[in-house]
Amino acid sequence: MAEKIIIVGGVAGGASAAARIRRLDETAQILMFERGAHVSFSNCCLPYYLSGTIENSDSLVLMSPERFAKQYAIEARVRSQVTALHPERKTVTVQNLESGESYEETYDKLVLAPGASPVMPKSIKGIGQPHVFSIRNVTDIKALKQYIELHGVKKAAVIGGGFIGVEVAENLKMAGLLVTLVEGSDQIMMPFDPDMVQILHKEMMDQGIDLRLSGTLAEIKESSIVVKRQERLESIEAEVVVMSIGVAPETALAREAGLALGETGAILVNKNYQTSDPDIYAVGDATESFHRLLGRPGRLALAGPAQRQARAAADHMYGGYNRNRGFIGSSCIRIFGQNAACTGLNEKTAKGAGISCDFAYVMASDKVGLMPDSSYMNFKLVFEVPTGRILGAQAVGKGNVDKRIDVIATVIAMGGTLEDVKDLELCYSPVFGTARDVVNQAALVGLNLLNNRYRQVPVTAVRQLAESGAYIVDVREEHEFRAGHLKGAKNIPLSQLRQRMEEIPRDVPVYLYCRTGQRSYNAICCLQGHGYRNLWNISGSFLGISLYEYFQDQAQGRTPVVTAYNFR
């Protein structure tokens, strides 16, 4: 007798599970229930409809119920909400949201893929007004755009600086709106460390986004919002408000059916994505996974993991075996002219978890400098001490940062070390990269640090050094120094170092920097060869100092420690 399989949720996880089950079993009866108006839509592309990058909302829908029926013999019922599970008799209650009718369906196997819903705190006064939106599906994004066009909206506020919030802010700005982005933390994009994210802060500010960090939404009014920042209440004009402060896993069905939940509050599953009822599987944003590097439960609300989990669950139904190695957290984003990508642990998270680690921070050309579109790529590689095991990486630049981070993600999955990354044989052509790619360069820098060939301080420590009167040497050429430098720094160009070495003291710590870190490293090697020992390289050097200090100065209104910012 043919198996009857019910799937709750028809987007990434649910649709992928349904299609895989059909490929494995041509005779199964597959029913997929989706409470929304569409199945199998591209939720990651939703913000790009706001700017017209995606012109037609119909393009967001990848498969219709009719195509599912014709191509896969899968019955997809939209506007149909599963309201209850009955594991004891293996049925579900379904409500037709068009007619209001409720009915029951039996199943042999059940797959839960309800996803996660946007967090909309009822404690925020005014959050229920018609000009307040969240974005989860095609209907939501169409409603937002229609409201903007119908009411002639000119000013918008986006609450939350994660992936969706930043992308919504970018696309609203591209659509011609004045946009304020409010973020409760002191930075957007939490997977990135503070020294890396400042580049993204600057890009958003340069593009006209009013960036309000460390701000908590207190109230939403008819044409403005009230934000609490540093014990002050700020009123910001906003004719439309988009809430993007996070998502919560949809667990009501599982909880009410008595299925176990995990430590994070999401649905608990085993390595084969079975719930506490072996005939019920769960995949996607509603489930609890675990962080491979931290070795503890976690959640990762991304389409890629949901699709992989869906395939694994379907395979197990038909005798397959899964390793379920958890996630490391790889992601990327474009913010106007900057691309950003990351994988694994950032420095902040690794140290917070008690992992002994260090990092290599390099600024290298993303392709041969003679190429007209060559630009700097900021690359940070985090590694364990003393093993050299790769823990994570972040990259920001105008070029192919995703390619470099994909390399590191693969290395992490294989348990690789700095030695492995150093020797990676990567593709090279002047139009694609450099003979020694930024990935290899970062590993070489990491090995120098790991093997104590030199020491470094991060750009975040520069202000304290400058204000305390530390001995700082700028080894760039004189014309570079004149264009902008760290206050109190002494200019001894690398080209003059051997002739002016005696100007550098031996009895106090000496901190060196250049444009990107390469010349200052060479200066340290030279000085060490002449008996100097108390030397430190400033990671990221003046380019990094400028990027970090620029935003901190602007955001906090503090006195600059550089004579002029330099981002070239």
Closest by CA to 239, choosing from 227, 222, 251, is 222
Contacts of 512 by beta carbon, 8 Å cutoff, 6+ apart:
472, 473, 474, 475, 520, 523, 524, 535, 536, 537, 538
Q: Tokens 């690794």 identify what position?
A: 350
Kindly name the residue from 342, 427, 514, 526 that is annotated as catalytic. Answer: 514
163's enclosing H/E stretch is helix 163-174
Q: Tokens 């069905």 identify what position?
A: 253
33's enclosing H/E stretch is strand 29-34
Q: How far apart are CA 32 and CA 325, in angstroms?
A: 28
Dihedral sign for Cα 539, 545, 551, 557, please. positive
CA distances from 258 to 40, 241, 274, 276, 463 (A): 28, 37, 14, 9, 55
Q: How far apart are CA 72 and CA 314, in angstroms?
A: 15
Question: What b/e readout covers 76-89, taking b as 16+ CB neighbours within 10 angstroms?
Answer: bbbebbbeebebee
Contacts of 367 by beta carbon, 8 Å cutoff, 6+ apart:
373, 374, 399, 430, 431, 432, 433, 434
- What are the phi and psi torsion angles at 545 (to 5°)? -60, -45
Number of H helices and E strands in the chain, helices first, is 16, 30
Give the distance, in angstroms, between the CA of residue 517 and the centroid of all CA atoms in the same chain. Answer: 26
Contacts of 246 by beta carbon, 8 Å cutoff, 6+ apart:
118, 119, 160, 162
Q: How far apart are CA 550 and CA 78, in angstroms?
A: 50
Task: Identify whether 526 is a catalytic site residue.
Answer: no
Q: How far apart are CA 259 and CA 376, in angstroms?
A: 51
- 409 CB neighbour count, 10 Å cutoff: 22
- 295 CB neighbour count, 10 Å cutoff: 10
Q: Kindly list the catalytic residues.
A: 514
